[in-house]
Amino acid sequence: MPVYIGDYLADTMHLSTEQHGAYLLLLFHLWRRGTLQDDDTVLAKITGLKQSAWSSTRLVLAEFFQIQDGLWHQGRLERERIRVTAKQLSKSKQAKLAASSRWNKGSNDAARIASAMPGDAKSEPEPELSKAFLFEGMAFEKRSADARHTPFRSILAEYWSAKNHASPEMPWQGRDGKALSDFLAASPNLNEMQFRQMLGNRARSAVAHGDRVYLWIGNLTRYQEEITVYNKPASAGGGHASRAEINRNSVVSAVDRALLLAREHTDRAGQAGVEPAAFHDAGMSLADGAGPDGCALAIPGNGDHRMAAGHAADGEAGTDGPLPYRPATAAASEADRARGQEVIAW
């Protein structure tokens, strides 16, 4: 029932709150039932008022109705009823005509599809379809059931039970079944052994095994091998390991470059010629001066620190302490290799 608030308030501003309620209840009853009897007992019951209260209210509300033939009539309400009824009938007629048109069009399409010969098709052959049906006049074709659906669902149930001991019964609803059907349609050549293998790889992966099947079945082909918590194949080292691999390559390159520079330095030193004459310091004792082999610099202390005899090994401590200088070697020592290997492992 349409209510025009402005018109209603313009005509009822003199009513009390109780009278507003009684008037609206009478209008609602008349709209729903179509009739309103001129019976004070019935009218008091409709408005919810006691008989005494209704007697005083009747005098005020009667001015909004026409009372004749033992019935209360309300002109505005009846005109609205006729308008709304006509509008509903018009819409119903239009809807029936549209449905009939769609139905006829769909029937013609279905007949054309049924009569088409295989040689008429110019496109690629469609997947096998089992049944055509109509919905609101449109023709649709239903995909035939995949024979793998039932055994694959059983395999999924085994996987679920093995990974969810607290709730071993796998939840299964329409969306799970549809997701499995879509997965099978997208993988027509997938067999049970391959399916089990992918589920086994997923079982060993760092994923949420309690998720519903429809949430992850579409991505199952990613599990050709185990996936780490960083969503990368375990054989590639996973998420952080792949970055470590990059760092390892950088460190190895730096070490190789340093060794190459050391070898170049050694080659240049060997081509430089004889060493310059000894440096004599007037403030130094001659006993600590240049040795018979022409050491470049006198070192304070007693003796020649085994340098003159030339029998001190590279890097070996002398008589009075470590040597301050050690020539570069042509190849990396075992200590160099050990240090380089520690950096690679990190």
What is d(CA 132, CA 109) in angstroms, rounded to the nearest whole number? 11
215 and 156 housed in the same domain: yes
Q: What is the pLDDT at residue 298? A: 46
212 and 285 housed in the same domain: no
Q: Which long-range contacts (CB under 8 A, 24 or more apart) does 54-62 make?
A: 54/22, 57/18, 57/19, 57/22, 60/15, 60/19, 61/19, 61/22, 61/23, 61/26
Q: Would 22 be classed as within a structural domain?
A: yes
Cβ–Cβ under 8 Å, residues 187 and 220: no
DSSP 59-88: HHHGGGSEEETTEEE-HHHHHHHHHHHHHH
Q: Which residue has the higher pLDDT, 61 or 339?
A: 61
222 and 247 housed in the same domain: no
Q: What is the pLDDT at residue 279? A: 45
| Number of domains comprising the chain | 3
The domain boundary, picked from 50, 73, 96, lies at 73
| 3-class SS of residue 163 | helix
Residue 249 has pLDDT above 70, yes or no: no
| CA 101 distance to own-chain centroid | 43
190 and 277 housed in the same domain: no
Q: Would 125 be classed as within a structural domain?
A: no
Q: Which domain holds residue 282?
A: 243-345
Residue 86 has pLDDT above 80, yes or no: yes
pLDDT band of residue 98 (cuts 50, 70, 90) is confident
Report for 17-31, 99-113, 294-308, 311-325: range of highest mean pLDDT: 17-31
Residue 141 has pLDDT above 70, yes or no: no
State the sign of the Cα–Cα–Cα–Cα dihedral 194, 196, 201, 205: positive
The domain boundary, picked from 160, 192, 227, lies at 227
Residue with tokens 């991505």: 219
pLDDT band of residue 20 (cuts 50, 70, 90) is very high
Residue 281 has pLDDT above 50, yes or no: no
β-partners of residue 143 are 129
Percent of the chain with pLDDT over 90: 23
Residue 25 has pLDDT above 90, yes or no: yes
Q: Would 108 be classed as within a structural domain?
A: no
Q: What is the pLDDT at residue 127? A: 47
Burial class from Cβ neighbours inside 10 Å (0-12, 13-18, 19+) for residue 305 reads: buried
264 and 333 housed in the same domain: yes
Q: What is the pLDDT at residue 112? A: 65
164 and 204 housed in the same domain: yes
| φ and ψ at residue 162, rounded to 5 degrees | -70, -30
16 and 45 housed in the same domain: yes
pLDDT band of residue 47 (cuts 50, 70, 90) is very high
Q: Domain with 37 in it: what CATH number?
A: 1.10.10
| 3-class SS of residue 238 | helix
Cβ–Cβ under 8 Å, residues 45 and 24: no
Q: What is the pLDDT at residue 343? A: 37
Averaged pLDDT for residues 340-346: 38
| 3-class SS of residue 37 | strand
Averaged pLDDT for residues 203-222: 88
212 and 247 housed in the same domain: no
Question: For residue range 305-316, what is the model confidence (pLDDT) as tens digits?
Answer: 444 445 545 544
